[in-house]
A and B are shown apart, each in its own frame.
Chain A
Amino acid sequence: MNREDLLQGLKARDPRAIARAISLVEDGDPLSETILGSLDESRIEQALVLGITGPPGAGKSTLTDQIILGYRARSQRIGVIAIDPSSAISGGAFLGDRIRMMRHALDSDVVVRSMATRGRLGGLCAAAGATVRILASSGCSPVIIETVGVGQSEMDIIRLADVTALVLAPGLGDDIQAMKAGLLEVADILVVNKADCAGAETLAMDMEAVARESRDKGGSTEVCMTVASRGEGVAELLETVAALEKIYRQGGEHGRRRRHAHDLEVLDWALELLRPKLLEKIAKSGTNRTGDPRLKAAAILKGF
């Protein structure tokens, strides 16, 4: 596929062109700047970016499948980015989230892309932001991001998504304890999934307490209960998502989050683009590998 075909294909929503564009951007191909410069900014602004995060096995993929179903009933075109971890040893990855979403495989308005973290911590991959924009520009709204199964510190999704749902399930006690000072405090919606299992009521009550505390501090945290495997509670969850999106857009929170995310992503990329230049400077700074690294860094950056 040459440059013209690719850009034409992107405009025409050709599945292959969209998929190629994501790979080229993910691999840092020279074409990525052309691709990213060609996107439809107004579509990107209008699209809802919905984050689905939570501990391993909580039901994120199963819930995502049901959420797709809900939005498809309203004829919305949907993008899904499903992220799994890369092996720290081999650099490879087993990408399995898609298994639960295969019923949509022949629906050309459900664009699913599995991605590996490729060494990035934080629950996303480096190209997640760019992939959101490619999908949104191709008419997808919402763009749903399923993060890797998270512990307590994988918070990148909060920044990238307009609305983030933290999916929890009974029986994950320690995982949830560990989140007390992390995701639990910043997620917009606390989803108690596997509501058909023992312990769901207790978990829901705990989550209500967390939500109340957040609301006392001016937040707008909501709690939803779902049985993702049967689609129960999903309609209510989507209503909650829509209500929060509306509040955030009207109150200015939406714009504030997007601007913040934008600035941080620019910073990420600036550092990334600087990396080779800095490495070169360090290599040129002499053969002496002693002395304090921080002081050396400051010296290299002098006059920057």
Chain B
Amino acid sequence: MAGRSKKYRVLIGKPGLDGHDRGAKVLARALRDAGFEAVYTGIRRTPEEIAAAAVQEDVSAVGLSSLSGAHLRLFPAVVEALKQRGAGDIPVLGGGVIPDEDLNALKQAGIVEVYTPGTSLAQVIEAFEKACDRHHQGRSKT
């Protein structure tokens, strides 16, 4: 936001074959309007592609959006791919059409938080703000 001296960079990715990109774009624009630099990588990416892009773009958080039901496989795969690239410190948030009963499994797999339809954009932005804050604090310690 205006008061922050350093810009937070985040990446919004859509893993898998899901073509519902409205939410991802709404999210990326809302982040822009809240002062974030939001990289969007488009639809139909593999978890490895999203992780590689997140590393090259040096983002402080990755947001994944899935509305097609493949989140249980794809979200943890992104976390794994980040770890393999030495970027396990980058927090991963998730959202989209995700049944309540899957939330625990996703958190167990390392997804920081999951947001389903009806979440306000203010809440989404706060979530990214928090994740980025924490990531930066961790970074300045090393």
- Min Cβ gap B13→A in Å is 10
**Which of A113-121, A160-168, A252-260 touches B?**
A113-121
Q: Evaluate contact between A92 and B35: CB separation under 8 angstroms.
A: yes
5 smallest CB-CB distances across A and B, nearest first, come from A99-B42, A19-B58, A105-B49, A92-B32, A92-B35
B85 touches A16 (CB 8 A): yes
B31 cross-chain contacts in A, Cβ below 8 A: 92
> Which single member of A22, A92, A105, A111 contacts B37 (CB below 8 Å)?
A92
Does B109 interact with chain A (Cβ within 8 Å)?
no
The answer for the CA separation of A257 and B81 in the assembled complex, in Å, is 43
- Measured CB to CB, the nearest residue on chain A to B86 is A16
**26 A-B interface contacts by CB (under 8 A):** A15-B52, A16-B58, A18-B56, A20-B58, A27-B6, A90-B32, A90-B34, A90-B35, A91-B7, A92-B35, A92-B37, A93-B37, A94-B38, A96-B39, A98-B41, A99-B40, A102-B53, A105-B49, A106-B48, A106-B49, A112-B53, A112-B56, A113-B57, A114-B37, A114-B57, A116-B37
Q: Tell yes or no: A2 within 8 A of B by CB.
A: yes
Q: Could you say which residues of chain B place their CB within 8 Å of the CB of A95?
A: 37-40, 57
Chain B residues with Cβ below 8 Å from A86 are 37
Closest Cβ–Cβ distance, residue B130 to chain A (whole Å):
17
Mask, B12-47, CB within 8 Å of A = 1, is 000000000000000011011111111111100100
> Considering the chains assembled together, what is the distance between the CA atoms of A277 and B32 in angstroms?
32
Whether B28 lies near A94 (C-beta < 8 A) is yes
**Is A87 in the interface zone, CB < 8 Å from B?**
yes
Q: Kindly state whether residue B74 has any CB partner on chain A within 8 Å.
A: no
Looking across the interface, which residue of chain B has its beta carbon closest to that of A86? B37
Task: Report how many residues on chain B are interfacial, defined by Cβ distance under 8 Å.
Answer: 32
Shortest Cβ gap from B71 to chain A (Å): 20
User: Digit string of A140-171 for contact with B (CB within 8 Å is 1, else 0)?
Assistant: 00000000000000000000000000000000
Residue from B1, B9, B49, B85 within 8 A of A102 (CB atoms): B49
Given A23-B9, A98-B41, A105-B45, the answer on whether A92 and B36 have CB atoms closer than 8 Å is yes
Chain A 165-206 against B: per-residue CB contact (8 Å), 1 yes, 0 no?
000000000000000000000000000000000000000000
Q: Which residues of B contact A113 (CB under 8 A)?
A: 56-57
Complex Cα distance, B32 from A106, in Å, reads: 26
Q: Which residues of A contact B7 (CB under 8 A)?
A: 27, 91-92, 116, 118
* A interface list, Cβ under 8 A from B: 1-2, 15-16, 18-20, 22-23, 27, 86-87, 89-96, 98-99, 102, 105-106, 111-114, 116, 118
Q: Which of A15, A27, A98, A102 has the most CB of B within 10 A?
A: A102
Q: Hey, which chain A residues are within 8 Å of B97, CB to CB?
A: none
Q: Report the separation of the CA atoms of residues A99 and B6 in the bound assembly, to the nearest whole angstrom.
A: 25
Q: Which residues of A contact B42 (CB under 8 A)?
A: 99, 102
The reply to whether B37 and A15 contact each other, CB–CB distance below 8 Å, is: no
Would A94 and B35 be within 8 Å (CB), given that A102-B49, A111-B56 are in contact?
no
Q: Determine the distance from Cα of A2 to Cα of B45 in the docked complex, in whole angstroms.
A: 32
If A95-B57, A96-B39, A105-B53 are given as contacts, then 18 extra A-B residue pairs at C-beta distance below 8 Å, sorted by A number, are A1-B142, A16-B86, A22-B58, A23-B58, A87-B32, A87-B33, A90-B34, A91-B2, A91-B35, A92-B36, A93-B37, A96-B28, A98-B40, A98-B53, A98-B57, A102-B45, A105-B41, A112-B56
